[in-house]
Amino acid sequence: MPREAPRLHASAVIDRQAELAPDVVVGPYAIVEAGVILGPGCVLHPHAVVRGPAVLGAGNVVHPFAVVGGEPQAKRHAGGPGRLEIGEQNTFREHVTVHGGTEGRATRIGGHNLFMVGSHAAHDAVIGSHCVFANATQLAGHTVVEDWATFGGLSGVAQHVRIGESAFVAAAAACERHVPPFVVVQGDRARVRGLNVVGLRRRGVAEPSIAALRRAVRTIWTSGASRVEALKALEAETDPYVLKLIESLRELAP
């Protein structure tokens, strides 16, 4: 019978002050620093690095040469490690970098996200769940990404910008302003191009709600009406997704 590979490879560097669930797998030359907590089922592939203080929930997978946690790239940061809090079942592919928070804050990531090769989440970012970040997606500090958002390759988000739920940020888009939920944005600088129908269907949103969102998007962005006029025209809408869209537009800066 083939010999079972050790769960903690002999060449891995694991600090005594790290806490690992019994079934965690740490591959060759991977590094786990002090202050790291790895939940059940986590897997660190060869040469993966997890820096403390960081908490990773169950089932996270960190691929080779990804660096998760550690000191932020922030000139105003006083120094020292930044906290990182990660939920369950996230995948961090090769060369992904995620930095901890600044000044006692934490970078927070939900669950079931896919960070593809070379993507980056900067200090104090707050990321929801079920998001996809294609290769080389770049999130600046203090960004907020809501659930089910999807990013094309080489897209970027400026500091303090919010990306709404189920939004699709197209490849190479540069987001310097808040992105409403449910829409597709594209370009430099990114502008709304339509409704993210594909993403909504993949999420399981019912067709009547998608149809209501189509009407709302046309009213707001292609009817020629002002933002105030468009929102007034939608006052009678009762669909919960349309109501979320209206609420976000009233909260976010134009």
Catalytically annotated residues: 123-124, 141
Range 133-154 average pLDDT: 98
| Domain locations in the chain as residue ranges | 13-196, 202-251
Average pLDDT over residues 234-249: 96
H/E stretch holding 56 reads strand 54-56
- φ/ψ region of 158 (left if φ > 0, alpha if ψ in -120 to 50, else beta) reads beta
189 preceded by cis ω (within 30°)? yes
Residue whose token pair is 């990013």: 151
- Cα→Cα distances 143→20, 98, 157, 242, 253, Å: 30, 13, 7, 24, 15
177-216 per-position pLDDT tens digit = 999 999 999 999 999 999 999 999 999 999 999 999 999 9
| Residue whose tokens read 């929801």 | 128
- pLDDT per position as a tens digit, 72-121: 999 888 777 789 999 999 999 999 999 999 988 999 999 999 999 999 99
Q: Residues 6 or more apart from 38 whose CB is under 8 A from it?
A: 18, 19, 20, 21, 24, 32, 44, 50, 56, 60
Q: What is the pLDDT of residue 98?
A: 98
Question: pTM of the full predicted structure?
Answer: 0.95
DSSP alpha helix (H) spans, the chain: 197-203, 207-217, 227-233, 240-251
Largest CA distance in the chain: 72
The fold of the 13-196 domain, in CATH, is UDP N-Acetylglucosamine Acyltransferase; domain 1 (2.160.10)
